Each structure stands twice: as structure tokens, then as C-alpha cells.
Chain A
Amino acid sequence: MDKYLVSPNPHVHAAVSTRSLMRDVVIALLPALAVSVVFYGWKELLVIAVSVASCVCIEYAITRWLLGKPSTTGDLSAVVTGLLLAMNLPSTTPWWVVFIGALVSIGVAKMTFGGLGQNVFNPAITGRVFLLISFPTYMTHWEMPAGLFGADAVSGPTLLGRVNEQGAAAVEGLDCWQTLFVNVGGSAGEISALALLAGFVYLLCRRVVKPWIPLSIFATVALVAGIFHLADPAVYTGPVFNLVTGGLILGACFMATDYVTSPMSTAGGIVYGCGIGLIVTMIRYFGSYPEGVSFAILIMNMAVPLIDRAFHQKKYGRT
């Protein structure tokens, strides 16, 4: 009998692993990555490659050589962080700046907390915000898409950057829906809302994430922006503009839904999403930064332990 396994139930397991979930996130990001490479060309490809390679190597180095533990890079979470970081950076970012971002994302935000599952802050966002504060010139200089096949590159501020300087009038007459397809001037993750949404739908279909966090973010942003826009359309941009511009879709669908740094329960997720939505609009309207998605998510990351304490699953027979 010795040759047979004896272990407690259950004796079978679902075909799901950390690796398979992360692989699905990578697949979901592919459309948006492809669009950005087509529009920004080989420079964008370089940013992506440097970011992913650095994240994976840094995680490998820290686990193997610093901690002396088996490497965890096989779970692909470092690849996801690398991709998300790259999508938050302009294609003109020099490679060494990308590397520093990766170092902060993986080395500081992820590994010092104990690695995957232990970190309080979303690693990619932490890296991005660090770069934004440390290297503002690189981080706010956006290149107008020249494309893989295009000729000269033109540079200029993003739509949100213009609004921040000149008020809502700066984008008057802009067809917001156009940005759904191609958002002129932005980071890779901001360029095509449609490609991002397609990836997100894939994640929903594969049941990797639930829709409540992004939906509550979108609803809050639309509501708050709607109220302000009604009050003074000349100063405050409208709901549609706020939904489709900047990193909102990327942030809401791919970064606010990060398992590790978001609440566990559905109700908690909705509170978290509303919080992010509110902070985003406040920063966009009143802050000195044109864009607030990253800050909003980091701020709400801090509230997650509290939210998790307040909201629990509904138990059977205990009402």
C-alpha cells in the first residue's frame, strides 16, 4: 500500500494557479501593448523590454541571492509588474530611468514587504510615482505618435496636461469618442482605451477578476465629473472626457484590480473603487498634477486593511 498517496480531501484541484492567472493578465495586456508599439515604434518596444527584463531580473536576484530562497519569478507576477510599469511611462523614457522604476517597483514596493501577496502598495504604480516625482521632465514629456511607419515625431503635453494649464476650454470641441481608439499623446497604457477594454473583457470572461472595482471607479468619476461639469462647464471637464482620457481605464481595469492591494470582498471593492474615483476627479480638478489615477490608487491601497476589516463575506445561517 505504500506506493499509494494518502492525504486528506479534496483529492482534486481546479486548473488554476498563480501562474495561470498572471498569464491571463499578460494576455489581456497584449492588445494595448501592440497598439502602443504600432504608434510609438521601436522606442516603446525598448521601454517594455527593459521594464519587463529588469523586473524579472531584480526579483530573481533578490530572492535567490539576497534572501537565499527559491526564485518566484515563475509565477509571472514580475512580468505583469514590468508590463504595467512600461505602460505608465512615455516611450521617450531613457532605459536607465525605466530600470530605476523597476528597481523601486520590485525591490522596494514588492520585495521589502515580503514579496507577492505581502505588499501594501501596487508595485508598478509605486515605481511610476517615484519616477514622476524624481524625474518629472522625463515623465511629463509626451511624444506625439510618430509610429512604427511614421516620419517625424512631434512632442507636446497630454490632453489632461493642457486642461491642467488652461482649463476645460483647451479641449473644447474635441471629440472624446475619438480617444477611445487612439488617445493622441500619452503613455502606452493611455493610448487606446478600446484595446485596454478588450483585454479587460478577456479577464472577465476568464473569471480572473470581477468587474465591481472598475465599475465603481467609472461610476464615481462619471457622477462627480457630471456634477462639476454641470455647475461650470468652462472650468470643469465633462464625464466622458474624464473617463476616456489619461490612465483611468488602465488604472481601473488593471491596477486597481490587483488582488494583493485591493479589498477581498465585493462590498469592500466597491468602497475602494468609489474612493479611487473620487480622489481621481479631485486631483484632476484641483491638484497640481494633471493626472491623479496613480495617486488615487496608492492612497486607497493604504485603506485596504481597514476596508477588509469592515466588510466580510455573507455567512451561511448567521444573519
Chain B
Amino acid sequence: MAKVTFKIGGVHPDDAKLSRGCAIEVLPLPQTLYVSMAQHLGAPAVPCVAVGDKVKTGQVIAEPGGFISAFVHSPASGTVKSVGPRRDLAGNGVTHIEIAVEGDEWVEGVDLSEALVKEIPQDRTAMLDRIKVCGVVGLGGATFPTHVKLNPPPGSKAECLIINGAECEPYLTSDFRVMLERADEVVVGAAIMRRILGDCPCVIAIEENKPEAVKSVSGAVSALGYEGISVLTLKKKYPQGGEKQLIDAVMRRQVKSGALPISVGAVVQNVTTTLAVYEAVQKNRPLISNVLTVTGDCLPVESQRNFLFRIGMPLNYIAGYAGGVPGDAAKIVSGGPMMGKAVADMDAATVKGSSSILYLSESLTRRKPESACIRCGRCADACPMGLEPFLLNRLRKAGDLSGLEAGSVQDCIECGCCLYSCPANIPLLDHIRMAKGQVMGIIRERAAKARAAAEAVSPKEVTKENK
């Protein structure tokens, strides 16, 4: 089949999948785990255990703090030592539950066997509930609660479930290893979500630089024999794994600005999320672990790893287990080199969505001095949202907020393609992100005002009608 990709923009960074050959290893438990209450998009979870409580692996230790929030479970068995603020990856204080690890004794009712459960349950609501209770969130980056995404609002219908196996970020290989080693479970997970969404077609989309994954997932699809699931090979291009770009690549549809993917009938889930869905629904196993790559350009290939980690493991524990931080690392990133976050504190603990510890060398990552814009247009060619970053930057300098809004700065997905491509090394995204924040603020304010105005008007209308 012809390989597809998204239409607008994109860049081709060196994919540097150095750790692709490293099989997933299980990390042993450390003595202490620090479980963050902000593991997901939305409201932080609320702790439901107290200091001194004994907890078991997989036991709920925090409950959703709102509609968009998620359950959090204990990643090991032991004693709750403290509940309080601790610094996260970015250095911000977030409530963490500290657990003194005593062992790995699981709660009742979890199927810990390796056996594949192929039979898909019929009860949609029960499956959704399992996914919710097991604390499954999107593991591709946004950590949006999965049960919310799998339950489209009334009036909208899923027409295509896209399983995102693009893994377009350079260096990362965790999704790749999952597709290679756990293809069967991923395919069952896809079949479950398909059933939940009303048996819509499902496409598992994988970039062409992972032919082994294409082979293993295709093999699993035909061996398991579910209906309506197909595998699609994509051309390699960053940011293919961006939700909007993937929808364009697979369905040839574009999500309108400000709208949700479901407005064009799309539901996108990452492969590791799909695995988590499988474990939740078929094994009643809560999401307390994920796969992370230890990699980077200054880490020798033989020291690179793919680990199955438990949430709450401090980064320096994992780094230490893998042989320590290489001496020439200039920056440590959690996530990919294009969209990941620079780690401000290696004491910070892993969360559900952690995907890597990436060591980058000075020469690769140090920003070069900025020079004048030469109007080369590379930033605009690279922008997958079709924006004109050079123009947005100029408007920001001039403080022209309405111009920025007309230039759709609010559509920026912060993929970094513009800054990546700029020969003058202008920190375009830094500026655009700030401008986007301002413009979003204005848009929200306007919406709030409009709502208030509508509410002020409607009582009159009611009285009119009553007359």
C-alpha cells in the first residue's frame, strides 16, 4: 500500500533510534517511591490514604479530583510515609504520596498471569468503567484520561479509531519495543476500544522506520482474526504522532481550529495506552507501569535501555541503575528531543506518561546565538499547522494581539518545527508560546463574557415567552 503522511509542513530530524535493539527489562523496585497526584491532564487526584497506612500494589491511593482527572494506584506494597509537596520534573511543587516499599504484594482480583485473554467483553459501560477505575490516561504525551476520550459526547460518533504507533520523536523506542514484544496485547486492546466506540474501523498507524513493528503488529492482527483492524505504514515525518497530523495522514480530514478530534469522527490512542487498556479490561490491572527509554547521543549504545518502570521511581534511581549520567551530558530531557521537557531536578519521580531519560550533548543541544531573520520561509514551510512563525514573531514584537489571533497563534501545537528549522536560530517557539498564552487568555475571556451576556439576556426571553 502507498505510504501516507500529513499534508502541511513537518521536518525530518535524524531519528537516532539507537536503543531499538534493547529488549524491555523490568526495573527492580527502589526503597522509596514518590507518586505524583498530577499524573494526568486536568484536576490533580486527591489522596485517599493517610500517613502510616499499609498499601498493596495496585491499590487506589488517590481519587479523581474532577471530571477530567484520574485514579492513582500504589505502584508497590508498603507503608505510606508522607503526603505532601515535592518537586516534579519541571521543578514545580506537586503533592506526592511517599511510599516506603516493602514488597510487591498485589491487591485481590488482579490477573497477573501472562496468558492472553482474547475474548472481548460485550458490556461497553463496564469496560469504560474498568478503564476509568484502573486510572488509564493517554501515554503519548498529553495524558488525557482515556475513558473520557472513549466516551464521545452525545451527537458525535466515532468513525475511525487510530492507534498511534508513529513514535515520530527521535531517540524514543519504547512504543517500538511494545509493538514488537507485546503486539498481541496491543491488538486485543485495539479491539476492545473499537467495541467501546461502537465497532468503528480501527487503523494502527506505524512509521516506515519501524518495519519490524509493522510486521509484528500485522502478524498479530491476522493471527487474532478480529474484524475491522488494519495496519497502515506512514512515511517518516515529524510530528506525525501529533493528533491533528495523524488524523490528516490517516483519514485525510482536518480538525477545525478549537474543535476536538471527534468532530471529524476520529479517536486517537497511543499504542502503550492501548496496552494499558488491554491490561485494565482483560486483567483488571491498574496503570502503574509504563515503558521508558534511557538513551541519548552521548550515551554509548551498549548502555542504552528500554525499561518497564513503575510510577514514582525517581529519575536518578533509574539513571543510576542504568549506569549513571554520562559525563558529557549537557541536558537531560524527559520525553523526545523535539517536544520533551528539560529535567530541572533528577530527584523528580516518573509519572504514567514518562517515556524517556534522554541525555543530550552540548554540541547537539546548546542553542546557537540568534541572528537576524533572513526571510527564508523555512519556519513557515516546517509548521505543521500552516502558521507563519516569522510573522507571528514580528507581530509579538509589535505587541499586536489581534494580528496574532488573526495569524492563528492559538493553533500552535508547540511542536518546535519552526525553531528547529530556523537558520538564524531565532527562538521562535519561545516567543510564540508566550504570545499563544496571551491570545488564549483573551479568547477565554471573550467566551466568558459572551456566556455572561447570554445568561443576562435569557431571563428576559423567558419572561417574554411567559407573557
Contact = CB atoms under 8 A, between A and B. Distances in A.
Interface in A4-57: 4-14, 16-18, 20-21
Given A6-B331, A318-B257, A11 B340 contact: yes
A12 B170 contact: yes
Given A7-B342, A7-B367, A10-B420, A316 B425 contact: no
Contacts of A18: 371, 374, 423-424
Contacts, number: 149
Interface string B370-391: 0111111110100111111010
Interface string B333-361: 10001111111111000000000001010
Contacts of A264: 375, 377, 380, 388, 390
B40 interface: no
B377 A16 contact: no
B157 interface: no
A316 B244 CA distance: 9
B423 A5 contact: no
Interface stretch (A95-103, A112-120, A149-157, A191-199): A112-120
A140 to B, nearest CB: 33
Interface in B2-24: 8, 11, 13
Contacts of A116: 371-372, 374
B345 A259 contact: no
B199 interface: no
A8 B411 contact: no
A217 to B, nearest CB: 18
B385 A316 contact: yes
Contacts of B13: 12, 14
Contact of B365 (A5, A259, A317, A318): A5
A21 B244 CA distance: 32
Contacts of A17: 368, 423-425
Contacts of A12: 13, 170, 337-338, 360, 364-365, 420
B254 interface: yes
B76 interface: no
A9 B342 CA distance: 8
Contact of B378 (A16, A115, A260): A16
A113 B129 CA distance: 65
B429 A8 contact: yes
A64 to B, nearest CB: 16
A316 B417 CA distance: 15
Given A7-B342, A14-B420, A317-B256, A259 B375 contact: yes
A1 B429 CA distance: 25
B358 to A, nearest CB: 8
A179 interface: no
Main secondary structure of the interface of A (DSSP, over half): loop
B354 to A, nearest CB: 16
Contacts of B429: 8-10
A11 B344 contact: no
Contacts of B371: 18, 72, 75, 116
Main secondary structure of the interface of B (DSSP, over half): loop
Interface in B43-76: none
B117 to A, nearest CB: 39
A10 B382 CA distance: 13
Contacts of B383: 313
B109 to A, nearest CB: 41
A72 B369 CA distance: 12
Contacts of A5: 330-331, 342, 365-366
A16 B346 CA distance: 32
Contact of A21 (B8, B373, B386, B423): B423
Contacts of A75: 371
A312 interface: yes
B344 A16 contact: no
Nearest to A208: B376
Residue among B377, B380, B416 with most chain A CB within 10 A: B377
A17 B374 CA distance: 10
Contact of A9 (B255, B332, B414): B414
A312 B389 CA distance: 12
A178 interface: no
Contacts of A319: 254
A10 B419 contact: yes
A190 to B, nearest CB: 27
B208 interface: no
Given A5-B365, A16-B423, A318-B257, A313 B337 contact: no
Interface string A269-304: 000000000000000000000000000000000000
B403 to A, nearest CB: 12
B95 interface: no
A300 to B, nearest CB: 15
Contacts of A260: 374-375
Contacts of B255: 317
B212 interface: no
Given A265-B377, A317-B254, 8 more contacts: A1-B346, A7-B331, A10-B419, A10-B420, A11-B360, A12-B420, A75-B371, A259-B377
Top 10 A-B residue pairs of the complex, sorted by shortest distance between their CB atoms: A10-B416, A315-B386, A117-B372, A317-B254, A5-B331, A6-B342, A259-B376, A12-B337, A11-B337, A264-B377
